[in-house]
Amino acid sequence: MTNCILCKEELKPEEGELIWHGEDCRVILVNDLDLPGFCRVIWNRHVAEMTDLTHGEREHLMALVFAVEEAVRHVMHPDKINIAALGNMVPHIHWHVIPRYKDDAFFPGSAWSQKARETPVAKLDARRKLAQDLSSAIKTAITALS
């Protein structure tokens, strides 16, 4: 699909960083200054709904989502992980894996709600440094699936 922003695989630096790319999926670290460690697992082919995938493809995709969650938990030590697949704005299968903290800008609301506060700069800086280590942790977690 030519007008789908998730069908294009090139990322602008302000959008995020490609962490891992496989035949069916890719993982990006989203460039969100308020939510360091926010990852997106994207199905490469343009498919709108999970039930459009085969059972094997669904299992493969969810195994990747859980591997990313595990890596994010291991590296970022969040209070909670949010996993979401909405697709209301972009009807292309993708999952959000978001480390959440009780002092993050949106807590207790969703990552898409209005900011409730500013996270202390020192905490954000520390979390951004941790997020830099996610690439190798995600690659290791995904490799363990094989």
Average pLDDT, rounded, for the chain: 93
pLDDT category at 9 given cuts 50, 70, 90 is confident
d(CA 93, CA 89): 11
The per-residue pLDDT for range 130-146, each reduced to its tens digit, is 998 999 999 999 999 87
Query: Which residue blocks in 45-118 are alpha helix, DSSP H?
Result: 55-76
Residue 60 clears pLDDT 90, i.e. is over it: yes
The per-residue pLDDT for range 78-91, each reduced to its tens digit, is 999 999 999 888 89
* Residues 30/128, Cβ–Cβ less than 8 Å: no
The DSSP result for 1-47, as a single string, is: -TT-TTT-----TTTEEEEEE-SSEEEEEE--TTSTT-EEEEESS--
Q: Which domains does the chain have, with CATH numbers?
A: 16-143 (3.30.428.10)
Residues above pLDDT 90, as percent of the chain? 82
Residue 1 clears pLDDT 60, i.e. is over it: no
Burial class of residue 33 (count of CB atoms within 10 Å of its CB; 0-12, 13-18, 19+): exposed
d(CA 69, CA 15): 20
The per-residue pLDDT for range 23-54, each reduced to its tens digit, is 999 999 999 999 999 999 999 999 999 999 99
